[in-house]
Structure 1
């Protein structure tokens, strides 16, 4: 292997489309690294190397939350981390390509020690490591990444912070500033307006990928409001793989019920931008970044919680209609968040092939049968999903 291409995003710059389209790519010179999914629930994301590389090299336990979300128990953390590292090394040893492509936007969130450890491993197999990063304008990035962290469970009142230097300075220190290339991610700036074709041309692929996929369609403001409301509601989802997939299915339902794009007031973004950080990135790009548009109508918005807490009667009617269409018994006096939670239970019901059916579950009988659940003060159906069903407890 003569060279490694390390594509590091940044986040929300078409990374999923690039990764999915390059899966299995070989042209006699380039090969897209075939890394296996170490955790079963990550099979659908195996073309994104972020999970594996992040789990293998993160030094400060950022991986813990990610592992818990996909159903890995605490006792298995170190074992899974070692498996991830071994899988990467096996791929590096086995590759016969001149250029191996790795794609992991999670690397931009690494601390310096993790980046150095990753760099040391990669240099055992290739002395030439070139890092490629797309960069978004501040407003577009903050809007996109804020939606993403809400999908991952964020329930606070702050926007996801933006720091170009934090994302890329450690990469320049480890791999050399001359080996880190930046390109502005704007549709009109991309080759034919297509990030897949643009990336292929940028790194020098000999042919177009055989299959192409545009992915990660944005959710609408109302769909994100539904997720945000549930993030603030008492939930049960502690590291259970089935619940992880049911939660993803729920996001898809929200996307279908509330089509459109996600928007946040420009005022909320503008006050978070560090002009010195912006200047640092502009100097590396060699061109100016766009500041967020601003209008007086933003003045009545006090914060993210205020903006996302604004719901409409139409939202309640739509969720109620979805539940009724599924044959669910919908309480007359249920609030929006209670209806959203019931829709989550419907997703669990369908994803488990009716094995975990809240409609047939009796909380009173469950607590009567199992006083240990009552004494622990646990939500009955949540206990049944997480523990009781596997333990053979009767939920009828």
Structure 2
């Protein structure tokens, strides 16, 4: 192997589309690293090397939350970490390509020691390491990253933070500033407006990827407002694959019910921008980054919670109509959050092929039959979904 191309994102710059499109790519010179999933449950997204590389170099298991979500016990972290590191090294050792491509946007969140360990391992197999990073304008990045936070449970009042320097200074220190290349992620700047084609041209691929995936489609402002409101409701969740898939279905339903794009006031984003940090990145790009001007509607917005709390009666009507269309019994006095939670239960119901049907579930009878659930103070249907059904408990 003569060279390694290390694509490190940054987040929200089409990384998933690049990774999924390059999965299995070989052209006689370049090869996209065929790494296994870090855990079997993540097989569908093994094209993203982030989880495996993150797990392999996670010092002190600081970012072990995803392992827990996939049902890996804390006592098994060291074993899984060793497996991930062995898998990466086996791939590096076995590759016969002149150029091996690794893509892991989580590297921008590594601490210096983890980055040094990764660099030391890669240099055992290639002396030439080219680090590639797309960089997004502050407004687009903060908006997109905040939406992603909310999609997966965020309920706070602050937008996703932004620090270009913190993302990349440790990477430059380890691999050398001359070996780290940056490119501006704006549609009009990308080759044919396509990040996959642009990345292939940037690193010199010999042919187009055989398939394409356009991932992480945005939700509208109304859809995000609904999800943000639901996040504040007491929920049940775990490493259950069924619940992850039911939540994804819920997001798809909101995308269908509330089409459009997500927007937040520019004033809120400006609070997250450090002008010196902006200048640091502009010097590397050789061009200016953009911040949008304020509008009149920005001026009375006090925070994220204020902005996303401005739900409308039309949202309640739309969700109620969706539930009615599914044949659900909708309480007359239900609030928006209660309707949203019922819609989540509908997604669980449909995704489980009616095996987990909240419509036929009796919370009172379940608690009467199983006093251990009552004593533990657990939400009855949540216990049934996560444990009771598999244990053969009667949920009727």
- TM-score computed with the length of structure 2 as normaliser: 0.97
| CA apart distance, 1:60 | 4.6
Name which of structure 1's ranges 288-297 and 124-133 shifts more when overlaid on structure 2: 288-297
1:32, distance to aligned residue in structure 2 (A): 0.5
2:47 alignment partner in structure 1: 47
After superposition, the Cα gap between the structure-2 partners of 1:327 and 1:78, relative to the gap in structure 1 and judged at 3 Å, is farther
Matches of residues 81-100 of structure 1 in structure 2 within 5 Å?
A: 81-100=81-100
Runs of 4+ more than 6 Å apart: none
Question: Which whole-Å CA distance do the structure 2 matches of 1:144 and 1:185 have between them?
Answer: 13
Deviation at 1:71, TM superposition (A): 3.2
- Per the TM alignment, residue 100 of structure 1 is displaced from its structure 2 partner at its CA by 0.5
1:320 equivalent in alignment to 2:320: yes
Q: Separation in 2 of the partners of 1:52 and 1:234?
A: 31
Question: Counterpart of 1:394?
Answer: 394
Counting only pairs closer than 5 Å after superposition, residues 165-244 of structure 1 correspond to structure 2 as: 165-244=165-244
Q: Secondary structure at the match of 2:272?
A: coil
Deviation at 1:79, TM superposition (A): 2.6
Query: Which residue number in structure 2 is paired with residue 278 of structure 1?
Result: 278
- Cα-to-partner distance string for 1:12-43 (whole Å, 9 max, x where unaligned): 11111111111111000000111122323322
What is the match of residue 344 of structure 1? 344
Match of 2:76 in 1: 76
Q: Does 1:311 align with 2:311?
A: yes
TM-superposition CA deviations, 1:101-160 (whole Å, max 9, x none): 011111111111111111111112111111000000111110011101111211100011
Partners of 1:311 and 1:286 in 2: CA distance? 42
Aligned positions, number = 396
SS at match of 1:300: coil
Secondary structure of 1:355's aligned partner: coil
Preserved contact between residue 38 and residue 51 of structure 2 (Cα < 8 Å): no
Number of the residue aligned with 1:377: 377
Q: Aligned partners of 1:136, 1:200: CA distance in 2, in Å? A: 18
Output the CA distance in 1 between the equivalents of 2:282 and 2:354.
Answer: 54
Map of 1:263 onto structure 2: 263
Aligned partner of residue 132 in structure 2, secondary structure: strand
Question: CA contact under 8 A between 1:71 and 1:241: conserved in structure 2?
Answer: no
Please, what is the CA RMSD of the aligned residues? 1.3
Q: Distance in 1 between matches of 2:206 and 2:82?
A: 35
The 2-side partners of 1:49 and 1:357 are apart by 36
Q: CA deviation at 1:83?
A: 2.3
The C-alpha deviation readout for 1:312-354, integer Å capped at 9, x for no partner, is 1111111111111112111111111111111111111122222
Structure 1 unmatched ranges of 5 or more = none
Instruction: Verify the 8 A CA contact 2:2 2:99 in the aligned structure 1.
Output: yes
Asked if structure 2 preserves the Cα contact closer than 8 Å seen for 1:73 and 1:239, the reply is no
Alignment map for 1:240-255 (pairs within 5 Å): 240-255=240-255
1:270 touches 1:292 (CA, 8 Å); kept in 2?
A: no
Tell me what 1:133 maps to.
133
TM-score by length of 1: 0.97
Counterparts of 2:328 and 2:79 in 1: how far apart (Å)? 42
Structure 1 window deviating more from structure 2 (59-68 vs 115-124): it is: 59-68
- CA–CA distance in 2 between the matches of 1:65 and 1:230? 21
Q: Distance in 2 between matches of 1:45 and 1:308?
A: 31
SS, match of residue 59 in structure 2: coil
Distance 1:44 1:223 in 2: 26
> Over residues 352-382 of structure 1, what are the superposed CA-to-partner deviations in whole Å (9 max), with x where a residue is unaligned?
2222111111100110011111111111111
For structure 2, the 5+ residue unaligned runs are none
The answer (yes or no) to whether the contact 2:130–2:179 under 8 Å persists in 1 is yes
In 2, distance between residues paired with 1:8 and 1:254? Answer: 31
Would you say the 8 A contact 1:69–1:244 is kept in 2?
Answer: no
